[in-house]
Amino acid sequence: MNDSQIFLNIQKHIDLTAEERDWISAVLELRDIPKKERVLEQGQICRKLYFVESGSLRAYNSNKQGKESTIMFAVQDWWITDMYSFVNQKPALLSLETLEDSRLYSLDFLALEQLFTKIPKLERFFRILFQKAYVREQLRVLDAISRTTEDRYARFVAKYPQITSKVTQKQIASYLGVTPEFLSSVKK
């Protein structure tokens, strides 16, 4: 397990000793999840942070009228969770669902808190991870409030070709915040 994707991911930003990798391995859980299964249901408290070893997921919110809004996609080598629910341990605003058969590592909330104490370097890793996530979301807000749907669709496809090939147009539409019918008409 010490040479798996997840350690390569962490070691992009910090160095880990063999012992530190062991401590992390000890609390990581690895699970194979079939396609279209939800690992988190909106309303539940999210106890896990997920790392996508293989496969892909979608995080989305459903409003009272049942309209879905996709907040993020995650493919291999990405971290994903309902971060609001995870860090505050409050009911999730999002559901997390696999788009295909996937292999996921999960890190428990309390185990992660203990890892931060045991391996302070991890604070640095997650500082950098959240920093990038913050910048990414801020750019997405800018796109959402300043660009046309046509433009945003083109940029999505250019930025995330791996995702574009895995998801339906309906799901991309719900990521852009438009109806599938309108996205279909925009594509021409």
Partner DNA sequence: ATAAAAGATTAAGATAGTTTAAGAGACTAT
Partner DNA sequence: ATAGTCTCTTAAACTATCTTAATCTTTTAT
Regarding 99 and contact with its own copies (CB under 8 A), the answer is no
Residue 38 dihedral angles phi and psi, to the nearest 5°: -90, 125
Cβ(112)–Cβ(58) below 8 Å: no
> What number of H helices and E strands is found in the chain?
9, 8
Q: Does 116 engage in binding with its own copies (CB under 8 A)?
A: yes
The residues, any chain, with a CB within 8 Å of residue 32's CB and separated by 6 or more, are 101, 102, 103, 104
Q: Which of the ranges 52-60, 109-117, 121-129, 170-178 carries the binding residues for DNA, by CB under 7 A?
A: 170-178
Position 177 contacts its own copies (CB under 8 A): yes
Q: Which of 44, 88, 89, 185 binds DNA (CB under 7 A)?
A: 185
Residue ranges of the alpha helices (H) in 32-120?
Answer: 83-88, 109-118
Residues 43-82 that bind DNA (CB under 7 A): none
Q: Which stretch binds its own copies (CB under 8 A): 31-39, 82-90, 101-109, 154-162?
A: 82-90
Work out which of 38, 121, 155, 170 binds DNA, going by CB under 7 A.
170
How far apart (Å, rounded) are the C-alpha atoms in residues 37 and 144?
A: 29
Q: Which of residues 31-50 bind its own copies (CB under 8 A)?
A: none
- The CA-based angle 60-96-138, given to 5 degrees, is 50
- State which of residues 35, 89, 134, 179 lies at the interface with its own copies (CB under 8 A): 134
Footprint on this chain of DNA (rule: CB under 7 A): 35, 148-150, 168-170, 177-188
